[in-house]
Chains A and B, each alone.
Chain A
Amino acid sequence: MRNALLNIVKKEMKEIIRDPRLFLAMILLPILIMPIMGIAFQGFMSQAAESAKGEVRIAVINLDEGNISEIILSSPDFNLALKSLNVSMIYLNNLGLDSVDAAINYITDNGSIRALVVFPENFTYCINAQSPIKLDVYYFVEKNNPSSITAVSSRITIFMQLLKQVISTYVILNIDPNANPVFIQNPLISQPNTIYEGKVIRNTPPELIMQAFFMQMLMMPIAVMMLLSIAIQFAATSVASEKEQKTLEILLTMPINRETILFGKLTGSILVAVLGTIGYAIGFQFYMQSITTPMGQGQGVQINLNEIGLSIDPLGFTLMAISLFLSLLAILALVMILASFAEDVRTAQSLTSFIFMPVMLVGFFAIFAIAIGVSPTWMQIMLFIPFTSPMIVPLYVISKQYMIVIISLLALLLETIIAIKIAAKFYGSEMILSARLRFKKKKKKETE
């Protein structure tokens, strides 16, 4: 019994270990992907660490009709504490600015300032009345790098805590030693607002914008990867099953062009992929509509993607669909060639791993590139690669950079035509019949 079990286990292990799919999927792929993910994550972490320890410039505009805000802001203890936290405070009143709008315009033009704190007209009045002061805070979210807001957000929190301490100390020492303990504990109410792409999104903390950005940017590549992987498997199986079922030879002797056979198979795969694309587009529409509601629920605010510039217009959707369609066409044409080398479905699936593996790597790279916010050059390169194009196009579509998308789609069209031409040439030759590759254990002569 034990021997029989061992015998079966040994056979199973041999079959599994000798299967190239296992080698590709479970050994080679992780060996390649993990270090790439590690490098990307390291880059992301060092960028975040750099932002966390770097100087943060916070602007202040003082609209206070009294003088207590001046006293507090010029307090040596307060300024010393800010300095130790590597926070540099820019006092906009010294630059002649006297309104919130003017301050926002100034900061938008001057990209180095990450937040604005507004001291209201009734600041002195509220302190004297021991009534909580409402302070508007404006966060300036960097385009394509919303993760940088994390560092700013944490400094603002500390800024507010310091301010609370200075106000409480001031009230106890200079106004009322027996001040209302509730006020002393919490003299400030901070009201977050976000400025993204020059638009003011009121009552919305920047973290919500960051979530919206990441959800939209990262879900796309994942969905595209899933769609392409299904289409690749489908196309490969379609070609290989003709060989496995021994139906291809008869088909090739029919009085029809070989290209007709290729296009027939390609169209079949594409129709399925188009159905997938339509489903994907509809799903994405629902997704876009749905993320706005739950995201705001916790904070009692509602994000309007149009308002924050994260929406996609009909032209954008069209460009995204074209990108996806051309990518599918180009990749499936190459899969059709590769799968022709397989004599059976199992081999075809193994062979397509050779396409799927680099596709996965590039896909992961694209996802990390979006997350990290790599240089525009890398993004533009990925825009011209069939597989990464549908992942990167939304990024440009959202920021309404249509011209580069259209140029990249023209290049993609050319790449697709070349891929189809190569496939048509292959199908027109006898290689379609004679090309063969079979992943099978070589039998030793003595065992025959």
Chain B
Amino acid sequence: MQDLRKYFKKTKAVDGINFTVREGEIFGLIGPNGAGKTTTLRIIATLLKPTSGEVKVMGHDVVSEPKIVRKLISYLPEEAGAYPQLKGIEYLRFMANFIGENEDAVREMVEFGAEISGLGERLHDKVKTYSKGMKRRLLVARTLMVKPKVAILDEPTSGLDIIHSFHIRNMLKDFSKKFNTTIIVSSHNMLEIEYICDRVAIIHKGKIVAEGAPRELKDEMNASNLEEVFMRKVMAHA
């Protein structure tokens, strides 16, 4: 990602961001509300076009080669929903049908999605009967079941209780390790980011104010945890 800028009329949502995510690592984007995290992730996911700058996924430009990029990524938006009238398993199948090239591939994806969701028999119930946590687990499973090269998750545990958050965090960590998948994740939860991410970038007012491994950042700022690093960096740029 080079000098990425995205302006909505006069608002500078993203104002010259540069970072590189290494293959197989979990990269965290942290920042206060309105910092530009979601806009950045949406640009990587080909949903928005940058005002200027360059974003490449596995060497493919998100603007000129969006179809190729979409085959490489799997994106989970913040507060995403699933079709309430479909059963959980039907939802996984509906999504797998867009990716799987044949029935076997689709079945394999759905079985894997069902397994990592941990929803068991509840997958045969309609989504409208799910709790927020169950719905999120289904959606995270949908994101990962296709075994993407790059998984992009915007606030995957936002608003969830400890049990569901714990399940999702472990799901991401295990998945990345097992399949060498690159994961880009945004979160407000500093402890979560510190726990799952190999490297993080702190975004503030559309700019990256710090980037590195959580331990490096803590040492640099002489902080006991990432939250302290975050607060000091953000306050310094306020």
Contacts and interface: CB of A to CB of B under 8 A. Distances in A.
Contact of A249 (B74, B80, B142): B80
Contacts of B42: 249, 433
Nearest to B44: A253
A433 B48 contact: yes
A255 B99 contact: yes
Nearest to B79: A246
A256 to B, nearest CB: 6
B40 interface: no
Interface stretch (B81-89, B169-177, B186-194): B81-89
Contact of B47 (A246, A253, A256): A253
Give the dominant DSSP class at A's interface. loop
A252 B95 CA distance: 12
Nearest to B68: A255
Contacts of A254: 70, 95, 98-99
Given A247-B80, A250-B80, A250-B95, A430 B45 contact: no
Contacts of B71: 255
B29 interface: no
A245 interface: yes
A377 interface: no
Residue among A250, A256, A257, A433 having the largest count of chain B Cβ atoms under 10 Å:
A250
A174 to B, nearest CB: 89
Contacts of A245: 81-84
A254 B99 CA distance: 8
B40 to A, nearest CB: 14
Contacts of B80: 246-247, 249-250
Contacts of A433: 42, 47-48
Nearest to A258: B66
B63 to A, nearest CB: 11
Given A245-B83, A246-B81, A253 B48 contact: no
Interface string A248-292: 011011111100000000000000000000000000000000000
Interface residues of B, number: 26
A257 B8 CA distance: 25
A4 B98 CA distance: 54
B75 A250 contact: yes
B75 A430 contact: no
A154 to B, nearest CB: 61
A249 B79 CA distance: 10
Contacts of A253: 45-47, 70, 73-75
Interface in A431-447: 433-434
A422 B205 CA distance: 36
B181 to A, nearest CB: 16
B76 interface: yes
Interface string A224-252: 00000000000000000000011101101
B167 interface: no
Contacts of A430: 47-49
A430 B76 CA distance: 17
Interface in B53-85: 67, 70-71, 73-77, 79-84
A260 to B, nearest CB: 10
A234 to B, nearest CB: 15
Contacts of B98: 254-256
A246 B46 CA distance: 17
Contact of B70 (A247, A249, A255, A434): A255
B99 A249 contact: no
Interface in B134-154: 139, 142
Given A253-B46, A254-B99, A430-B47, A247 B82 contact: yes
Given A255-B99, A256-B98, A250 B48 contact: no
A247 B81 contact: yes
Residue among B75, B77, B95, B142 having the largest count of chain A Cβ atoms under 10 Å:
B77
A253 B99 CA distance: 11
A414 to B, nearest CB: 30
A249 B47 contact: yes
Interface string A73-115: 0000000000000000000000000000000000000000000
B83 A247 contact: yes
Interface in B93-135: 95, 98-99
A252 B77 CA distance: 11
Interface string B203-226: 000000000000000000000000
A246 B77 contact: yes
A242 to B, nearest CB: 9
B48 A434 contact: yes
A265 to B, nearest CB: 13
Nearest to A260: B98
B47 A255 contact: no
Contacts of B70: 253-255
A411 B154 CA distance: 47
A247 B86 CA distance: 12
A322 B71 CA distance: 39
A434 B84 CA distance: 24
Contacts of B49: 430
Contacts of A256: 98
6 contacts: A247-B82, A250-B95, A252-B47, A253-B46, A253-B75, A255-B67
Interface of B: 8, 42, 45-49, 67, 70-71, 73-77, 79-84, 95, 98-99, 139, 142
Closest 6 CB pairs of A and B: A246-B81, A245-B81, A255-B70, A254-B98, A249-B77, A253-B75
